[in-house]
């Protein structure tokens, strides 16, 4: 029986998308800090941050605690204006 490797592993698809509108994310360094800090949250698979729109998008394996997401974002000096969550409908791996 062949062994499982990263090459034939299925990509992890986010089941939940959390979108934050923030104020104070003004530069590339801010984007980098947001990505690093929020990627460290349990269950987060992918983070995108865009200074032009003031938007941070988190893809996660499960719904995230909104208080935790807000607190992590605000520790970076950003103000969370809005936070929305939606289920992607993706099936869990396994």
Q: Give the model confidence (pLDDT) of 2-48 as tens digits.
A: 444 555 666 678 999 999 999 999 999 999 999 999 999 999 999 99
Query: Which tokens hold the place of 36?
Result: 């690093």
The answer to whether position 93 is within a domain reads no
Look at strands 16-23 and 79-87 and give their pairing: antiparallel
- Predicted confidence (pLDDT) at residue 51 exceeds the cutoff of 70: yes
Note whether residue 5 is domain-resident: no
Residue 25 structural domain: 11-87
Distances in Å between the Cα of 24 and the Cα atoms of 27, 37, 73 are 9, 15, 11
Alpha-carbon span 16 to 25, nearest angstrom: 23
Domain count, the chain: 1
Three-state DSSP class for residue 38 = helix
């Amino acid at each position: 029986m062949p062994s499982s490797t990263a090459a034939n592993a299925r990509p992890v698809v986010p089941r939940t998308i959390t979108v934050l509108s923030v104020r104070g994310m003004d530069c590339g360094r801010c984007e980098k800090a947001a990505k690093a800090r929020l990627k460290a949250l349990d269950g987060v698979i992918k983070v995108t941050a865009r200074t032009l729109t003031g938007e941070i998008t988190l893809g996660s394996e499960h719904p995230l605690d909104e208080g935790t997401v807000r607190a992590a974002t605000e520790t970076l000096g950003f103000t969370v204006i809005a936070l929305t969550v939606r289920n992607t409908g993706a099936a869990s791996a396994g």
